[in-house]
Chains A and B, each alone.
Chain A
Amino acid sequence: MNPEGPDRLVRPYLITGGRTQPSDELPLETLIEATPHALDLVGTLRFEPRRVVELCRSPLSLAEVAARISVPLGVARVIVADLAAEDLLKIHRTVPAHGPDVPLLERLLDGLSSC
């Protein structure tokens, strides 16, 4: 069953303006960071968008954003994708779907060996 399929039912529809499909596909571990523009505007934002921008002053994963604002992942995806489209959040590049490449695995192994 595809969680993003047309039959997906997300009850907190008010948060997302009734939409259940994010405009962009975001993996769970995607790091999200507020843009300087968003930090200037944070006082004018309300509700979840404001909380997300405040949480993402330093980079935070999509999964953490969802957990910290207590919404299901699908809802967090919609909010984050919208804020990114308005240049309020920067989406950092993550590992491609087929998995990390050799240089990244080498960096990870180095890091794990000394942490």
Chain B
Amino acid sequence: MAGGFGVGKTTAVGSISEIDPLRTEAAMTSASVGVDDTSGVDAKTTTTVAMDFGRLTVADGLVLYLFGTPGQDRFWFMWDELTRGAVGALVLIDTRRLADGFPAVDYFEQRDLPFLVGVNVFDPNHTPPLEEVRTALALSDDVPLMLCDARNRESVRMLLIELTSHALKRAKAARPG
């Protein structure tokens, strides 16, 4: 579950999770070495990156985990970990801050991971035209794009169904024979 700050990622995870969303942390150390070799300066800083996640038991012995990406897009290492083995990604968009969705869309396009864009509708009286959103985000025609309500379990379930169908279609197309 990706998207800009405040777009409703944790809300969406919470809507469908069978447990209250949990928060886990990973520490990141970045080392910067001074350019002057004689000084031997070696500065290190540690940052903690937090992410929320939930769980959905979809069948006996089959559990789906939903992870929200860390708030700051610069924690790409965590995105790499989250996308390893993932079914796909849901990118949530708030049309009032469309540009916040660009980094996530770019990331999943580059990694060739199946993804779906969900436009979180904050005001039902002002539903954005989806084709304009598709153009603004420069999404290719095969990327599913849907309206959604992050607070509504049924709506989030529909996003998951659509994303899984999309991933399945791609997996079948990639399968030899």
CA distance A31 to B62 in the complex (A): 11
Q: Is B65 touching A61 in the complex (CB atoms < 8 A)?
A: yes
Interface residues in B154-177 (C-beta closer than 8 Å to A):
157, 160-161, 164-165, 167-168, 171-172, 175
Please count the residue pairs between chain A and chain B whose beta carbons lie under 8 angstroms apart in the complex: 119
Q: Return the CB mask of B7-25 against A: 1 if under 8 Å, else 0.
A: 0000000000001001111
Q: Is B85 touching A94 in the complex (CB atoms < 8 A)?
A: yes
Most buried by B among A5, A72, A107: A72
* Interface size of A in residues (CB-CB distance below 8 Å): 42
> Interface with B: A37-45, A78-86, A98-106, which one?
A98-106
The smallest C-beta distance from B82 to any residue of chain A, in angstroms, reads 7
Q: Known: A61-B65, A66-B24. Is A3-B77 also a contact (CB below 8 A)?
A: yes
Smallest Cβ-Cβ distance to B23: which chain A residue: A67
Give the interface size class of chain B.
35 or more
Interface residues in A92-115 (C-beta closer than 8 Å to B):
94-102, 105-113, 115
Q: Known: A63-B53, A100-B87. Is A72-B161 also a contact (CB below 8 A)?
A: no
Majority-rule SS of A interface residues = loop
The smallest C-beta distance from A75 to any residue of chain B, in angstroms, reads 9
Q: Is B29 touching A8 in the complex (CB atoms < 8 A)?
A: yes
CA distance A31 to B63 in the complex (A): 9
Judged by a CB distance under 8 angstroms, whether A73 is at the interface is yes
CA distance A68 to B25 in the complex (A): 11
Q: Is B62 touching A64 in the complex (CB atoms < 8 A)?
A: no
Interface residues in B23-38 (C-beta closer than 8 Å to A):
23-31
CA distance A104 to B84 in the complex (A): 16
CA distance A54 to B113 in the complex (A): 36
Q: Is A107 touching B85 in the complex (CB atoms < 8 A)?
A: no
CA distance A115 to B77 in the complex (A): 33
Selected from B24, B28, B59, B77, the residue in CB contact (under 8 A) with A110 is: B59
Judged by a CB distance under 8 angstroms, whether A27 is at the interface is yes
Q: Is B58 touching A72 in the complex (CB atoms < 8 A)?
A: no
Q: Known: A67-B24, A107-B62, A115-B56. Is A95-B85 also a contact (CB below 8 A)?
A: yes
Which residues of A approach B to under 8 Å, CB–CB? Answer: 1-3, 5, 7-11, 27-29, 31, 59, 61, 63-64, 66-68, 72-74, 94-102, 105-113, 115
